Amino acid sequence: MKGSMRRQILVGSCLLFALSISGCAILDLFPSKRAEAPGGSDQELLSRADAAIARKKYDEGRKNLQRLINQFPESELVPVARLNVGRSFFNEKRYDEARAEYQRFIELFPQHERVDEARYHMGLSFFRQMEKADRDQSLSKKAIAEFQTLVSEFRDSQYAADAKAKLAECRRQLANKELYVGKFYFNRGAYSAAIRRFETVLKEYPGSEYGDQALYYLGESLWELEQKGAAKPIFERVLSQFPDSDMAPLAAKRLGVALAPNPRRKPTPSFFSTVYATMTDTLSEVKDAVLDSDLWQTWVP
């Protein structure tokens, strides 16, 4: 009895073994299709992301780019994907997040051929957030640092020309800020503090459009401090360097010299001519308002 049981178990085991072998053989005859990464290939994911971003569906685009980065970490498209993530945030005007992505790209791929693009958009993101002249200018200074790096390290970049133009605009903004603060101190009689600001405009931002004002108010500050000997050469510089400026007649008055008429300088309107022009404009506006009114229309046959 026991021998019969053993034979049955042995036969059953052999049958199971044979079935398993035959099953494997059958599966080899019909190989299954290799499983693909969810979402498609790296190129497909990039194409979908680009299409979504073009349609301003930024979240959808970033999801596809992140899938590409996660599923194909060794792909040559990963740098492009990271750069495009930054571009999507930039297009959305989410500049802080865009800068973070561009900075990450620069750190991960410092030798990539599109580093100049990342650097340019870093500067541009600061540029787009610059405050007015009477506000904090820290973002203007950061924009200058980025644009200066681009111009210095990537002279042949397609972005270099615009970076130079943006540099000039940032510096103009900083010069305007210094002039604004200088005038603030000047109008409050803090002439020593004002002098430092006007000197900063002249030394750090030479050639700016505010040079004539900075020079004149520097002379005025010295004059108010009873340093007239030092002020006179400053006023002379106003006349020699900025003869067409509105500051020139004021500087000439301080020096006690007659300023030759300049046909390119518009004459300052008198008080009465200004009042007359203002009254004329006001009466004209009143007349137009009356003629357009419903009440007037009812009186006209």
Q: Rounded CA gap, 208 and 218, in Å?
A: 15
pLDDT of residue 263: 53
pLDDT of residue 261: 62
Cα–chain center distance at 278 = 40
Taking alpha carbons only, the member of 55, 96, 61 closest to residue 80 is 61
Boundaries of every domain in the chain:
189-284
Q: What is the pTM of this model?
A: 0.69
Residues of the chain with pLDDT under 50: 1-2, 9-11, 14-19, 21-36, 266-301
Taking alpha carbons only, the member of 36, 17, 33, 35 closest to residue 25 is 17
- Is domain 189-284 given the CATH code 3.30.70.20 in the classification? no
pLDDT of residue 39: 64
pLDDT digits (tens, 9 = 90+) for 179-224: 999 999 999 999 999 999 999 999 999 999 999 999 999 999 999 9
Taking alpha carbons only, the member of 174, 219, 170, 222 closest to residue 200 is 174
